[in-house]
Amino acid sequence: MRTDLELRRALVREIVAGGALGDPALRAAFEDVPRHLFVPYYYESAAGEAGAAGGYARRWGEDPDPGRRERWLTGAYADAPLATRLRDGDLVSSSSQPSLMAGMLAALDLADGDRVLEIGAGTGYNAALLCHRLGEANVTTVDLDPEITDSARAHLATAGYRPAVITGDGARGAPARAPFDEVVATCAVASVPHEWVAQCRPGALILAPLATGLIRLRVTGPGRAEGRFLGTPAYFVPLRGAGPDAGPTSGAAGSARAIVADELFRFLVELTAGSLDPYEAYALWRREARPRRERFGVTVDGGAQWAWLDDPRGPHTWPLRRAPFSPGAP
């Protein structure tokens, strides 16, 4: 059985071979932070497996069977997402694929002394990587679910990190800890919460999963941010909260699949949900020769927010769908 250190080094080599972790400081974080401490248990799809409930089997580090313990540890260092919390059969929290996490952290252009707000505490692993890179005093992570923040805080303490872990609505940010140099969301949003922009310094970066992609915005002034999507596809658990920008994107991609099964087209349908009929989106997709994510962007300007193809001034622009507002506790 390989040790966690051997498995961790193998994971880092795999991520580096894939083209990520060019920053030595980020590579050191992945080399030094033990992922298995943040996933003492997780769930694997295991339909038909003895003892599996609801199609999932629980892998955990305290399993009395040595073979299953080895499977847990090996899985903890696989370059794969891990389902860490289920509720009524639905996934509510996970540990993201490490190579995707590495790419997202690299896209933030982190520098010494930067203050980062993470939306979606998850297991605490991503916050630990940020603590290693920037120092725990510069890291804030927020999650709506107190069970998630409690476990993330415990995992972080076990690994030797104590950043600010806040239980609250991530759509509202963390005003008491602002201003921030970077905001990174590890949960999908329907649009970019204006509170995130308001809590950033000029020049700050915001990175968030939106419409099966990753939007990277630069804050250019009070209440204003603009940027393009990265080329990387991204599928995350939706942001949950009371804020007007919380919640998943529309399910319009289901209708899109009836037209054509293409991942980039489904991205376009999600991005234009509520603004453009899927058949109109298909006509645009064909006319523009299957445009890739990097050609699309988002602009936030005061109370307005829109997505665009190639140019934020048009001709192809769409107001981003916003989830209905429902009052709730902050």
Provide the CB-side half-sphere exposure for 157 (13 A, CA). Answer: 8
Q: Which residues contact 210 (CB under 8 A, 6 or more apart)?
A: 188, 189, 190, 191, 192, 229, 249, 271, 298
E-strand stretches of the chain: 41-45, 56-60, 82-87, 90-95, 116-119, 139-143, 164-167, 180-185, 200-210, 213-221, 224-229, 296-301, 304-309, 317-319
Q: What is the pLDDT of residue 251?
A: 43
Contact 128, 161 (CB under 8 A): yes
Tracing tokens 């476990």 back to the chain, one arrives at 151
What is the structure's pLDDT at 302? 86
Which stretches in the chain have pLDDT values below 70? 46-54, 89-92, 240-261, 321-330
Predicted confidence at residue 54, as pLDDT, reads 58
Taking the whole predicted model, whether its pTM rises above 0.85 is answered as yes
Q: Is residue 315 reached through a cis peptide bond, with omega within 30 degrees of 0 on the bond before it?
A: yes
Q: Which domains does the chain have, with CATH numbers?
A: 4-229 (3.40.50.150), 253-319 (no CATH)
Would you list the DSSP string of 190-202? SS--HHHHHTEEE
At residue 45, the pLDDT reads 79
Q: What φ, ψ does residue 5 adopt, rounded to 5°?
A: -65, -45
Count the Cβ atoms, other than its own, within 10 Å of residue 282: 18
Residue 128 has a pLDDT of 98
Position 56 scores a pLDDT of: 80
Task: Tell me the β-bridge partners of 306.
Answer: 299, 319
Active site residues: 96
